[in-house]
Amino acid sequence: MKKGLMVLFVVLAVVFLGIAVYYWVTPAGKLPHFFPGYINGATKTHLKHGLAALIIAIGFGLLAWFSSKKTT
């Protein structure tokens, strides 16, 4: 159970890291319509949305790290 939870946290951390990079390199007008920050025809990128996704990725990474520790 604990290993499965750790794997889930790692997968979520990688997904949110990918979302953060995607926000930083993709203009707002090219984002998928379901992404927060989509603005039709906009050319700027969303630095703050990417930063929020990075913080979430770090949080999931920390959860994975702490859930991988052995309890004695």
- Residue 43's nearest CA partner among 30, 33, 24, 52 is 30
At 11 the pLDDT is 97
The residues spanned by each domain of the chain are 2-67
For the chain, list residues with pLDDT below 50: none
Distance separating alpha carbons of residues 56 and 63, to the nearest angstrom: 11
- DSSP-H helix ranges across 1-72: 2-25, 47-67
